[in-house]
Amino acid sequence: MDTLILFLQLFGTFFLIGAFTIGGGYAMLSLIQGEVVTAHHWISESTFTDIVAISQMTPGPIGINSATYVGYDVIAQATGSHLLGICGSATATLALMIPSFIIVLLIVRFYTQFKNSALFEGVMGWLRPAVVGLIGAAAVILVVKTTWFQGTPAFTIVEENFPDWKSWILLAAAFCVSYWGKVNPILVIVGGAVLGLLIY
């Protein structure tokens, strides 16, 4: 019974994420994190970081990959069964795509009205900057955790992600080579792994 409820929650959560993700894969990471880590506590910040790394290095869109992984992890952790875990990842992945299906097929029907409408452009002009903020928040949450107690916030560094000063240098170096050096993300992750093996 509990497992069934968990499956329904998983479906509902990823359906909502699919329906409200506008602005691509990184925006989706922010929504997945908001629901799966912050709201439901299904997985920890550091596990989420690992999932993002793995999703980035494997073929396929990062949003779908993370959903597949999270779906497996949540159910397999709760039930201890690989088979149910597989069903979990299928549930999350399909739930994520169903809203896209409905909306894209609607767009196909009303293509011409949709294309040049001022209403559409107006709404997107507000949404795009908000998505920038959401992606920024996804990055911040993986660094600093905020807990509220009686109206006062307490900030703690996510120690699984930043155990010591070397982590901060890795963060800065990765940002530089990726932003200014335009180095491929997969190479940057491989570089992080190699440096991790050497310095820890």
Partner 1 sequence: MEKKPVSLWQIFAVFAKIGAFTIGGGYAMIPIIQDEMARRGWISEDELPDIVALSQSAPGVMAVNISIFAGYRLRGIKGSIAATLGSITPSFCIILAIAMLFTSFKDNPWVIKAFKGIRPVVIALIAVPMVNMARKCCKSWWAWTLAVASLLLVAFLNVSPIYIILCILITAFGYTYIKEKWTR
Residues 85-114 that bind partner 1 (CB under 8 A): 85-86, 89-90, 93, 96-97, 99-101, 103-105, 107-108, 111, 114
Place of tokens 């509902």: 12
Comparison of 1 and 105: residue with beta carbon closer to partner 1: 105
By the rule CB under 8 A, 161 interacts with partner 1: yes
Comparison of 8 and 144: residue with beta carbon closer to partner 1: 144
How far apart CA 177 and CA 188 sit, in angstroms, is: 8
Shortest reach from residue 161's CB to partner 1, in Å:
4
> Distances in Å between the alpha carbon of 79 and those of 11, 22, 37, 39, 93?
17, 33, 19, 20, 19
Tokens at 139, concatenated: 């990055």
Instruction: List the one residue out of 75, 54, 73 whose CA is nearest residue 65.
Output: 54
Q: Compute the Cα dihedral for 98, 60, 56, 160 and give only its sign.
A: positive
Comparison of 2 and 109: residue with beta carbon closer to partner 1: 109
By the rule CB under 8 A, 200 interacts with partner 1: yes
Angle at 42 between CA 36 and CA 46, to 5 degrees: 85
> Distances in Å between the alpha carbon of 123 and those of 116, 127, 129, 168, 196?
13, 6, 11, 37, 44
Site for partner 1 in 27-66 (CB under 8 A): 27-31, 33-35, 38-39, 46, 49-50, 52-65
Shortest reach from residue 91's CB to partner 1, in Å:
12
Shortest reach from residue 4's CB to partner 1, in Å:
21
How far apart CA 89 and CA 21 sit, in angstroms, is: 19
Instruction: List the one residue out of 73, 62, 53 whose CA is nearest residue 27.
Output: 62
Shortest reach from residue 79's CB to partner 1, in Å:
13
CB 41 within 8 A of CB 78: no
Site for partner 1 in 139-158 (CB under 8 A): 139-144, 146, 148, 153
Comparison of 8 and 83: residue with beta carbon closer to partner 1: 83
Site for partner 1 in 171-190 (CB under 8 A): 171-172, 174-175, 178-179, 184-186, 188-189
Return the residue of 3, 9, 19, 79 that touches partner 1, per CB under 8 A: 19
Comparison of 3 and 40: residue with beta carbon closer to partner 1: 40
